[in-house]
Structure 1
Amino acid sequence: MPTGELARALRSWRDRVSPSDVGLPDVGPRRTVGLRREELAAVAGISVDYVVQLEQGRARNPSTQVLAALARALRLSHDERDLLYRAGGAQPPAAGVVPRHIGPGTARVLDRLADTPVAVFTASWDLLHANPPWNALLGVTDAVSASSRSGNLVWRHFTGAPSPVVHTEEEHDQLGRTLVGDLRRAMAGYPDDRELAALVAELRQVSPAFAERWDDFAVTPRTAARKTIDSPVVGRVTLDCDVLATLDSDLRIVVYTARPHSEDARALDRLLRATGVVPDRPRHDPNDAA
């Protein structure tokens, strides 16, 4: 790409995105047409200084993780994301590789769920995005790099990573079988993904349980479930856990919800207020009336 193409593209794309487009409050007079640099940095999870360097053409060859984060923050389409990668000196993700792009439509849906625990995973269960309610409930950090095993749900499950989700032995085994089946589907759908192949190879080495499940070739269907989370703030809370799939990017959107007016709903509300995720102001609940 021509010199300076990345800098010009970033400035142009930033100008067309408003704070409300990315779930930020639009407060006070603005000299900037779209997002300020510090707002783009906050949404993308990178430093303001690095955004400045990119827009001034002083930073070259950003990592694919940074490019993916910028594409999500700027609400780029698939074609625009590919242009961003090429302008940044990287090859766009190939067709046979697990998609990692959160498109603008999916991003707008996520913005609407600002007070609901939601996370987005790839088809191979790499964490791409977790909103503040999710982090308050489960303590999982956002913006995990593509090469980090700690952000992969299958790796965490089979290596015994700490989790606030309370499972019986049967539930733990069932979840393991389901996750292995999901990886089987991903391997079949994305045969050129070297990172996915490496994940499976490493899991076979470090986890006999995974190797056993992998070798029996069973593909367990996924069903909706109720999960109990042991929160250090409000104690145990039991929520419905649903996994939604996007058709264009083959993503997994995991959503935790509580039955309306239940004790679990009130516990979740207290958690989000105690952690500052939602404002601490009274909310009317007819079940609370004397």
Structure 2
Amino acid sequence: MASTPLGEYLTACRARVLPGDVGLPVSGTRRVPGLRREEVALLAGMSADYYIRLEQGRERSPSTQVLDALADVLRLDDDARLHLLDLAGARPRPRPAASERVAPELRELMAAWAHQPALVLGRAYDVLAANHLGTALFTFTGPRNLLLDVFLDPATRALYADWTTIAANTVAGFRMLHGAMPDDPRLREVLALAQRRSPEFTRLWSQHAARGKTLERKAFHHPEVGPLDLRVHTFDVRAAPGQQLVVYHAEPGSPSAQGLALLGTLAATRAQG
């Protein structure tokens, strides 16, 4: 029977929880990974028939109380809980503007950061704006989409020292955006293109991981300045729902800070030439 995005997500999350994780005894041969449907229903305090209808897509409007109980049983973190609520239509959906315009004031702020690469990403990971150092870090030469670059551009793959982790996190973040705005044309366009052209993306997408961007570190191997170990700070642009400001920062006095300084000098030299 056809399911829904909510049903598919519940199935994937259920498969990741072991009986021992929730205090259930393990005995006999289990035909499914993780918890059985009946076990989820029992632990969440609902009938097995109701939970089965949720997974199969025959029940589409669970209450927030039901969703909270399922999130507890399935051991979902804050991001995964929000994604569950989005899939169930239990949160107001943002209504982004038709045109993803970056405010001039934000562009001016980014331009003032001479030592921090900065990007503004759109709701489908399109690069809407970048300061000079951000352009130099990612070697942008035209309109780009970070998700498609990660999976389809060999130069971007080589840029990341730990591409496997970057790829998984990129897909998990994109799933959060897609769950919040599943009918957005650009999100659907990027998703379809990635699924059509990248088996690696399709495999990660099928895992249903959902995580927003948080403070993290990324290791780059830049073709001009070598290794860079940078902190990453991500902020929602409140004036433009769906947009994210991403700022990269090196520890003062570190080799990475020296590398960013050299990268800025090279970029300025090219701009003058």
The Cα of 1:246 is off from its aligned counterpart by 1.2
The Cα of 1:138 is off from its aligned counterpart by 2.4
Residues 177-214 of structure 1, C-alpha deviations (whole Å, 9 max, x = no match) = 22222222222332332222122122112222222222
Deviates more, 1:216-225 or 1:240-249: 216-225
Aligned to 2:219: 228
- Percent identical across equivalent pairs? 24
Aligned to 2:87: none
**Which amino acid in structure 2 is aligned with residue 193 of structure 1?**
D
2:157 equivalent to 1:166: no
Answer whether contact 1:97 1:192 (CA < 8 A) is retained: no
**Which amino acid in structure 2 is aligned with residue 217 of structure 1?**
H
2:162 equivalent to 1:154: no
Aligned to 1:20: none
| Secondary structure of 1:242 counterpart | strand
Aligned to 2:140: 140
**Which amino acid in structure 2 is aligned with residue 186 of structure 1?**
L
Aligned to 1:122: 122
Aligned to 1:82: none
State the aligned residue count: 176
Cα 1:276–1:105 shift into 2, 3 Å? closer
Identify unmatched segments of 5+ residues in structure 2: 1-93
| Cα RMSD, aligned residues only | 2.8
Alignment partner for residue 203 of structure 2, among 212, 221, 230?
Answer: 212
Alignment partner for residue 168 of structure 2, among 143, 164, 177?
Answer: 177
Aligned to 1:106: 106
The Cα of 1:99 is off from its aligned counterpart by 6.0
Answer whether contact 1:98 1:193 (CA < 8 A) is retained: no
Residues 140-193 of structure 1, C-alpha deviations (whole Å, 9 max, x = no match) = 135x1xxxxxx111111122431252323xxx3332222222222222332332
| In 2: Cα distance, 1:278 partner to 1:205 partner | 37
**Which amino acid in structure 1 is aligned with residue 164 of structure 2?**
D
**Which amino acid in structure 2 is aligned with residue 190 of structure 1?**
M
Cα 1:216–1:95 shift into 2, 3 Å? same
Residues 51-102 of structure 1, C-alpha deviations (whole Å, 9 max, x = no match) = xxxxxxxxxxxxxxxxxxxxxxxxxxxxxxxxxxxxxxxxxxx936676121
The alignment's TM-score, normalised by the length of structure 2, stands at: 0.56
| In 2: Cα distance, 1:97 partner to 1:202 partner | 23
| In 1: Cα distance, 2:269 partner to 2:198 partner | 37
| In 2: Cα distance, 1:263 partner to 1:186 partner | 35
The one of the two structures with greater contact order (alpha-carbon pairs below 8 A, sep at least 6) is: 2
| In 2: Cα distance, 1:107 partner to 1:214 partner | 33
Answer whether contact 2:111 2:132 (CA < 8 A) is retained: no
Answer whether contact 1:158 1:209 (CA < 8 A) is retained: yes
| In 2: Cα distance, 1:232 partner to 1:203 partner | 26
Answer whether contact 2:159 2:223 (CA < 8 A) is retained: no
Alignment partner for residue 258 of structure 2, among 255, 260, 266?
Answer: 266
Answer whether contact 2:150 2:167 (CA < 8 A) is retained: yes
Cα 1:224–1:159 shift into 2, 3 Å? same
2:187 equivalent to 1:196: yes
The Cα of 1:111 is off from its aligned counterpart by 3.1
| In 2: Cα distance, 1:270 partner to 1:96 partner | 38
Aligned to 1:49: none
The Cα of 1:128 is off from its aligned counterpart by 0.7
Answer whether contact 2:118 2:248 (CA < 8 A) is retained: yes
Aligned to 2:65: none
2:241 equivalent to 1:255: no
Aligned to 2:236: 245
| Secondary structure of 2:268 counterpart | coil
The alignment's TM-score, normalised by the length of structure 1, stands at: 0.53
